Amino acid sequence: MTPTSSTTADSTTADTAAADTTGKTATGKTPAAGASAASTSTAPTARRLWSRGRGVLLGLVVLLVAGVALAASRSSDHGPLDPRSPRPTGARAVAEILRGHGVDTRVVTTLAQATAAAGPDTTLLVAVPDLLTPGQQTRLREAVDGSGARLVLVAPDVSTQTLAPQVTADATPAFEATAAPSCSFPPAERAGTAETTDVRYHVTAPDADACYLSDGLPTLVRVPGDPSTGSGGDTLVLGSPVFLTNDRLDEHGNASLALNVLGAHPDLVWYIPSLADASAAAGEEPRGFFDLMPSGWLWGSLQLFLAAAVAAFWRGRRFGPLVAERLPVVVRASETTEGRARLYHAARARDRAAEALRTATRLRLAPLTGVPAARAHTAEALLPAVTAHIGDPVRAAAVQDLLFGPPPGDDAGLVSLADRLDALEREVSRP
């Protein structure tokens, strides 16, 4: 290929890049130099932005409306083992049955409300005892001992040391779904088989009632109060909340056991501990960041670190000589040009596109005017030759601005520059 044809190919590549940068008409023709900025600008309009983003916006609106509707529908649904909840895991059914038998059920969520409501004619049920801090457990135990209320603890696992000192949870859970009473506690005898089996307990109180045994360990324990120490009320430890829930209340003797245990007094205070209770921080030592993290975090972090190290070694660089590999495909020059032009357009690099157009034009004008290719980009050598070739010295300033001027300020200016460079080249090429 001759130098002229090579430079012509380079110019075609540069022109194509500039044309793709500024945009073309549907027919593939470059807009005229005198076209307005509105007809050649590629800036997104408001209508185009709306057309592109309305689907995403509509999806966000639907998600927002669905979230608000779901939150509104569940705002009055409450949580598990809540006497106001009609869900299968709630306890509204047992509260309604107790109300029919003259037992008033009141829900409290703070320790102050629970201790203030405790009295000799009160049953105080703690739904999730393990949420109570040691300080809260101590204050609750003191309030129950001073009032003589019955304390009912639902499936405590780690909080029995203060609330029920003579009862300790076993490390292994029960595997039976139901069990027989196997004790002389009247409510358990009347109820018969019930679903109390989950947490098993070790009992050291000599006069305690140990019911519903699982492998020799009870899942329901009643420790009577000691009038000599002022603790007139008894303490019941339930191994499972299942027999109190709405979906299991009508199974076996669950309903009978629930009514006899919770209906011994006319007032039932249903205490649902909350993490937002201010009493949880009273008297407690401030805990650090690592104290708040769950147990086993150190071992889990070590496992993640080892897994990351193994993955890095697996995907890392291998040692040894580099292996040459032939490319599987050949990319067309037009595709490369178009891709580069779109990159220019995305980066708004009009200066680089304009310089590519001018460089290609200067390389093609140099052999036509007798200027060596090495000096094609020197204004002192190329401009006099071009001006002499077109025979119009008056246009010397315009030719200099066209070949060596500043970059255009917008896309329309870039299109105009491409058109004027083509016109100049055609004029010099004519015999």
Q: Quick one: DSSP state of residue 227?
A: G
Q: Give the tokens for residue 229.
A: 């120490």
Q: Which of 417, 356, 410, 419 is nearest to 43 (CA)?
A: 410
Structure tokens at 145: 């001992």
pLDDT band of 333, cuts 50, 70, 90? confident
- Beginning with the edge strand found earlier in the chain, give each strand of the sheet holding 122-126 in spatial order: 104-108, 267-271, 122-126, 150-154, 235-238, 217-223, 209-214
- Please count the other Cβ atoms lying within 10 Å of the Cβ belonging to residue 262: 26
The correct CATH number of 92-271 out of 3.40.720, 3.30.70, 3.40.50, 3.10.450 is: 3.40.50
Main-chain dihedrals φ then ψ at residue 7, nearest 5 degrees: -65, -35
Nearest to 417 by CA among 370, 329, 352, 364: 352
Q: What residue has token string 């083992």?
A: 81
**pLDDT at residue 74, rounded to an integer:** 61
Calpha distance 50→42 (Å, rounded)? 16
Q: Is 106 left (phi over 0), alpha (psi -120 to 50) or beta?
A: beta
Q: What is the pLDDT of residue 229?
A: 55
CA–CA distance, 174 with 197 (Å, rounded to integer): 6
Q: How many angstroms separate the CA atoms of 18 and 180, rounded?
A: 88
CB 24 within 8 A of CB 30: yes
- How much is the pLDDT for 329? 76
Q: For residues 390 and 359, what is the distance between their CA atoms, to the nearest angstrom?
A: 20
**pLDDT (tens digit, 9 = 90+) per residue, 39-92?**
445 567 888 888 888 888 888 899 988 888 877 666 555 778 888 888 888 899
Compute the half-sphere exposure of residue 380: CA atoms within 13 Å on the CB side of its CA: 0
Q: pLDDT digits over 13-47, tens only?
A: 444 444 444 444 333 344 443 333 344 455 678 88
pLDDT at 33: 39
Query: CA–CA separation, 359 vs 342, rounded Å?
Result: 19
Long-range CB contacts (< 8 A, 24+ apart) of 217-223? 217/170, 217/174, 218/183, 219/174, 219/179, 220/185, 220/188, 220/196, 221/164, 221/167, 222/185, 223/164, 223/166, 223/167
DSSP secondary structure, 23-37, as one string? ---TTSPPPPTT--H
Where do the domains of the chain lie? 3-36+337-429, 92-271
Mean pLDDT score of the chain = 81
Q: Which residues are CB-neighbours of 323 under 8 A, at least 6 positions away? A: none
> pLDDT value at position 75?
54
Q: Decide: 160 and 200 in contact? Cβ < 8 Å.
A: no
Q: Best-predicted range by mean pLDDT among 34-38, 239-243, 315-319, 427-431?
A: 239-243
* Distance, CA of 83 to CA of 98 (rounded, Å): 11
pLDDT tens profile 378-424: 888 898 888 888 888 778 888 889 999 999 989 899 889 999 999 99
User: For residue 287, what pLDDT band results from cuts at 50, 70 and 90?
Assistant: low
Q: For 182-189, which contacts have Cβ atoms below 8 Å and span 24 or more sequence positions?
A: 182/211, 182/212, 182/213, 183/209, 183/210, 183/211, 183/212, 183/218, 184/209, 185/209, 185/211, 185/220, 185/222, 186/260, 187/256, 187/257, 187/260, 187/261, 188/212, 188/220, 188/257
Q: Whose CA is closest to 110, among 254, 222, 275, 285? A: 275
